[in-house]
A and B are shown apart, each in its own frame.
Chain A
Amino acid sequence: MSDGTATPAVVRVEGVTKTFPRGNVTALENIELEVAPREFVSLIGPSGCGKSTLLRVIGDLIEPTAGTVRVNGKSARQARRDGGYGIVFQEAVLYDWRSIAKNIALPLEMLGWSRRRRRERVAEMLELVELTSFADHHPWQLSGGMQQRVAIARALSFEPSLLLMDEPFGALDEMTRERLNLELLSIWEQTGNSVVFVTHSISEAVFLSSRVVVMSPRPGRIAGFVEIDLPHPRTVETREAPRFFELVTEVRELLRRRGEHLLPEEEAVLE
């Protein structure tokens, strides 16, 4: 990761533990993680390994029981207040009463951008996700994949240096998912922000990431890291490269080794 030179990490998670008092569940235990500028990090692991919780702790949507989180050198809370990150959930979470353009403009309104600047930026973002002709539509008129592209455009609209994504393509079909993977990569290359990406899919994690973080459950811990050295730009062919399969196998092995004590049905999730 960091090679000793003092590049300031975008995300620095130190000794984070999170226990939920109800049911006394330890969701995260002593997590250490750094995300460098322009890095694309995927969190992968079976259900209950705390990867979504970790994402929310980074976003200051959940407070850790112990440990600290710093985003761009600031406390997580301050970073949230300053519009330090954009977030995308598994569902698009669009606001039904706002048009597509106004959904994308929402964070800009919250940050107090002028009307003119908002209009310009929204037009840019719509172009980025290729939905310009849908600006005045309402969410219910769009397909699931299109809705998710709106959510991504909204998360990127205020140019945050960090993008948090919680299984953003989990509810989509395989073909849409692969196309959006490519789109996400090209957006990431254009914007140059850091991404923390939660997923269930090994191949998605390997295809997208610079680094894959494998997590194990009960309590949620980091089981290991896999550096992804596939060249950029990644294309459809990347998925067919021998190196891609080696890396997929490496991640799978890591998951399997740590998952030996899992119940059978939980292991099925990993496939």
Chain B
Amino acid sequence: MSNAAAVVRSPPARRRRASVVGGLARAGLVALVAAALVGFWELYHWVWVSTGWTWPFVVNDTSMPHVWTIYHAFGQPAQVNQPALINVLLHKTAFTAKEAAAGFGLGALIGFALAVVLAQVRLLQRGFLPYIVGSQTVPILAIAPMVVLWVNPRLPGSLQGWGAVAVIATYLTFFPVTINTLRGLQSADPRALELMRTYAASRWAVLWKLRVPASLPYLFSALRLAATASVVGAIIGELPTGLQDGLGGAIINFNQYYSIEPQELWATNVIAAALGIAFFVIVVLAEKAIVRRAPEETA
């Protein structure tokens, strides 16, 4: 009790300083973990090579290229007469990011709208919810070529190619948003609902003034999941479509040369991982900026 009072009275400057210290500590921790991962990778490589262990898989410079080999691969052209790999990959990353961002936006909108409709009409919710859950068991990779065949001819020229991939990213993105928002819309405090009733508030007013604000923390935890899902969707969508402009195309391409130059596939995957984390971090920062209240853990 008295501790709480002390926290309230602490000047904002002290809190800001505390958050700076916390940020630095966190950055240090991230660096530490990254260093530990690199160390573990090289140690594992060294132990398995020197002992000749082959379980669970044979370790050599092809299956686990050295960290510095991967690092050097970024600076060198993958093929003659091409710019350095890092430049090529950054262009492809921008392309995949565009698909993922479009899929993210579209999926979030559709997912949110769907949740609002389902929350309003219980009968629809009963009827459709099992299929919304079931929709995620459909192997999207297997449908992707058919989706592209169907979507592409219907898109305007500027959306050709990447638009169809964005649709696939949308498919993976909408799901967490719908499920979590639905839970959030239904999480409104019953007493607050009664209060709204005393105001003779319309359904619409209850939705926008009470249910939607109540669902925001749930929505953002869903958007964090959706950020990852959109990147996964963009990469998966590129795989069977033969699109060469994005990371998915690069993965297919470098996979064919893996036995000769494994570091290029690894380099591509490192960039893909960074893209996924970047999307996630952007959503987290957006949440911090928008939802100005106690942080909530709803996953």
Contacts and interface: CB of A to CB of B under 8 A. Distances in A.
Touching chains A and B, CB distance < 8 Å: yes
Interface in A17-69: 20, 22-23, 25, 27, 47-48
B6 A23 contact: yes
How large, as a class, is the contact surface on chain A? under 10
A48 B6 CA distance: 12
Contacts of B3: 20, 22-23, 25
A232 to B, nearest CB: 34
Nearest to B4: A23
B81 interface: no
Contacts of B1: 47-48
Give the bracket for the number of chain B residues in contact with chain A.
under 10
B49 to A, nearest CB: 49
Contact of A27 (B2, B5, B6): B2
Interface in B51-67: none
Contacts of A48: 1-2
Contacts of B2: 20, 23, 25, 27, 48
A64 B137 CA distance: 57
A27 B2 CA distance: 9
Interface in B1-33: 1-3, 5-6
A65 to B, nearest CB: 15
A217 B2 CA distance: 11
Contacts of A22: 3, 6
B146 to A, nearest CB: 46
Nearest to B6: A23
15 contacts: A20-B2, A20-B3, A22-B3, A22-B6, A23-B2, A23-B3, A23-B5, A23-B6, A25-B2, A25-B3, A25-B6, A27-B2, A47-B1, A48-B1, A48-B2
Interface of A: 20, 22-23, 25, 27, 47-48
Given A20-B3, A25-B6, 6 more contacts: A20-B2, A22-B3, A23-B3, A25-B2, A47-B1, A48-B1
